[in-house]
């Protein structure tokens, strides 16, 4: 995903601080995320990349981009989490989720509760599980444009987006 380099990305310190503050507040479960929205070309992806960089030492970063269905979400999480347990869970459930996207919420909850509940290290200091930062980028691709009202999530993406929001 193309993002602005450090020299090009300026003037967003306040937004970065506000977002990081929200994530710290998430620890007490008042909030589960942040929505960054604006018209195209305003630096949303670059802002998300800076947040991911700042949280990179404590969070695995998963990016969902271009496809917003259940397999794409699970694939992004598998790439980010990368533990054998997470990979096995995703591999075992993916065929069932593809048949019934409503199962995605259950699989996401299992992943979040088993693999992403806290930062853990093994005896050698290697990270064995950690919270996940999920970035859903260019989400407007998942929307149908409506001329007489707000855009709507494309019907094929509704089950996956609903499951994602409910799980988090």
- Residues near 130 by beta carbon (within 8 Å), at least 6 away in sequence: 58, 59, 60, 116, 118, 119, 120
What is the spatial distance between Cα 49 and Cα 10, in angstroms, rounded to a whole number? 13
What is the spatial distance between Cα 34 and Cα 39, in angstroms, rounded to a whole number? 17
Give the global pTM: 0.83
Q: What interhelical angle do 104-115 and 70-81 show, nearest 10?
A: 10
Write down the pLDDT at residue 124.
Answer: 76
Write down the pLDDT at residue 54.
Answer: 87
Write down the pLDDT at residue 162.
Answer: 93
Q: What is the DSSP letter of 20?
A: H
Write down the pLDDT at residue 84.
Answer: 87
Write down the pLDDT at residue 136.
Answer: 93
Paired tokens of 89: 């869970």
List per-residue pLDDT tens for the chain, 168 residues long: 667 666 666 677 888 888 888 877 755 555 567 888 887 778 888 888 888 988 888 888 999 999 999 999 999 999 998 888 889 999 999 999 999 988 999 999 999 888 887 667 677 766 666 788 899 998 888 999 888 988 899 999 999 999 998 888
- Residues near 64 by beta carbon (within 8 Å), at least 6 away in sequence: 72, 73, 76, 134, 135, 136, 137
CB 130 within 8 A of CB 120: yes
Write down the pLDDT at residue 135.
Answer: 92
What is the spatial distance between Cα 126 and Cα 129, in angstroms, rounded to a whole number? 9
């Amino acid at each position: 995903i193309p993002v602005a380099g450090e020299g090009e990305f300026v003037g967003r310190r306040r937004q970065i601080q506000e977002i990081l503050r929200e994530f710290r507040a998430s620890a007490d479960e008042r909030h589960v995320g942040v929505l960054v929205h604006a018209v195209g070309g305003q630096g949303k992806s670059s802002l998300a990349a800076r947040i991911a960089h700042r949280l990179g030492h404590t969070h695995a970063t998963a990016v969902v981009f271009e496809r917003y269905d259940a397999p794409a979400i699970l694939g992004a999480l598998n790439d980010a989490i990368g533990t054998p347990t997470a990979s096995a869970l995703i591999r075992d459930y993916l065929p069932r989720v593809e048949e019934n996207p409503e199962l995605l919420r259950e699989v996401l909850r299992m992943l979040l509760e088993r693999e992403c509940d806290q930062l853990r290290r093994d005896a050698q200091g290697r990270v064995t599980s950690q919270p996940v930062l999920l970035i859903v980028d260019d989400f407007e691709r998942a929307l149908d444009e409506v001329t007489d009202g707000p855009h709507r999530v494309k019907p094929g993406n509704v089950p996956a987006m609903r499951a994602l929001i409910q799980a988090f």
